[in-house]
Amino acid sequence: MGKGHFPIDRLKGIETPFYWYDTDVLRRTLEAINAEAGKHEGFVVHYAVKANANPKLLRIIRAAGLGADCVSGGEIEAAVKAGFPHDRIVYAGVGKSDWEINLGLDNDIFCFNVESIPELEVINQLAGERGKVARVAFRLNPNVGAHTHANITTGLAENKFGIAMRDMISVIEEAAKMENVKFVGLHFHIGSQILDMGDFEALCNRINELQGILDNHRIRVEHINVGGGLGVDYEHPNRLPIPDFKAYFDTYAKKLKLRPGQTLHFELGRAVVAQCGSLITRTLYIKEGAVKKFAIVDAGFTDLIRPALYQAYHKIENISSDEPAEAYDVVGPICESTDVFAKQVDLNKAHRGDLMAIRSAGAYGEIMASQYNCRKLPKGYLSDE
């Protein structure tokens, strides 16, 4: 499948820049997740809403049977609106405010993933005021590194996330004393864009150790939640549009020793939606600089911030041209030097008006858009609407 799969005539009629979502890719991705996770007893997959909360995508993901992993009250609202059942919604986050906790309580969500004792106390109090018992899991910091960009590791002792492992038993004992919380699970999340299954294996080993300690204390845990983090192939979105879910779920099935009746929860974000989305942008000018050629496009880091924020690579295709490739710096219009999508990439010879597709942009793209420079937020369009 080459770049020819973009319906160029239709795209030409839409105001740029915008996100284009290929629902065929999304559906095939969801089928692969269900097929591979479905091979293992007790595996439950949630979608991490923060990767992309486009309501139309959420509805497709919900229809495929995934739960929702939320990190804010706004995401809980988006998940409820998209029809995710309340008992499939989990809520994590290092700084939950009172209204967000109350929203979770009012919606009787499946679980709060709790990151500190002060937070647990507040949940207990707010649940008490409502005459409810909140189900809680503790997010532990497993001190497992991930071979990914330093800004997106979350499971190291130095990161702000989670509760230190040495405090595990004492927080569980604290929770047992409280009337309006029920401890049901352990939660982990070691980072994002992880392609080395060895990192997930290291997490499994850590969880096995921790479960051994729980056994010694005769503490039963209903579920283990290992978070998300599976990466995608940003280099080859055409050749490898579906992440290797088989390797991912098989790693957990092989390495993590679940106790009888325990369920294993996953919270995949990027791996679900990254490859179905492209940011479509129009070429405004070709500028011959002193040393190189610039393709100045009408999208900027306000539309897709990943290159500026994490030096992330996104494949770019000139979908309007078949002429032989030339090297360009592809840059946006925003008044910041970091507003660069790629440096010295080969693109089919570009002209004013050509549409460029910035690929693998379905995750952490549209949802991170801002209005800096008083720019409009990009819209999202689905291929099958």
Binding site for ligand PLP (CB under 6 A): 48, 50-51, 69, 71, 92, 189, 192, 227-230, 267-271
Shortest reach from residue 149's CB to ligand PLP, in Å: 11
Shortest reach from residue 217's CB to ligand PLP, in Å: 25
Nearer Cβ to ligand PLP (284/309): 309
Give the CA diameter of the chain: 70
Nearer Cβ to ligand PLP (33/48): 48
Shortest reach from residue 174's CB to ligand PLP, in Å: 22
Nearer Cβ to ligand PLP (62/270): 270
Buried b (16+ CB within 10 A) or exposed e, 350-380: beeebbbbbbbbbbbbbbbbeeeeebeebeb
Nearer Cβ to ligand PLP (158/385): 158
Nearer Cβ to ligand PLP (231/300): 231
Q: Where are the extended beta strands (E) located within 269-338?
A: 277-288, 293-297, 316-318, 325-331
- What six digits make up the tokens of 385? 């609407």
What contacts 268, CB < 8 A, 6 or more positions away? 33, 45, 46, 47, 48, 228, 230
Please tell me the distance from the alpha carbon of residue 101 to that of residue 114, in angstroms, as a whole number: 11
Nearer Cβ to ligand PLP (123/330): 123
Nearer Cβ to ligand PLP (28/349): 28
Nearer Cβ to ligand PLP (49/210): 49
Pairing outcome for strands 340-348 and 355-358: unpaired
Q: Where are the extended beta strands (E) located within the chain?
A: 18-21, 43-48, 67-70, 89-92, 111-114, 134-141, 163-164, 181-187, 223-225, 263-268, 277-288, 293-297, 316-318, 325-331, 340-348, 355-358, 379-382
Please tell me the distance from the alpha carbon of residue 151 to that of residue 81, in angstroms, as a whole number: 31
Shortest reach from residue 271's CB to ligand PLP, in Å: 6
Q: How many CB atoms are closer than 10 A to CB 213?
A: 12
Please tell me the distance from the alpha carbon of residue 23 to that of residue 88, in angstroms, as a whole number: 23
Shortest reach from residue 302's CB to ligand PLP, in Å: 21
Shortest reach from residue 251's CB to ligand PLP, in Å: 15
SS3 annotation, 174-198: HHHHCCCEEEEEEECCCECCECCHH
Shortest reach from residue 112's CB to ligand PLP, in Å: 12
Handedness of CA 59, 34, 69, 236 (dihedral sign): negative
Shortest reach from residue 78's CB to ligand PLP, in Å: 15
Phi-psi domain of 126 (left: phi exceeds 0; alpha: psi -120 through 50; beta: other): alpha
Nearer Cβ to ligand PLP (11/57): 57
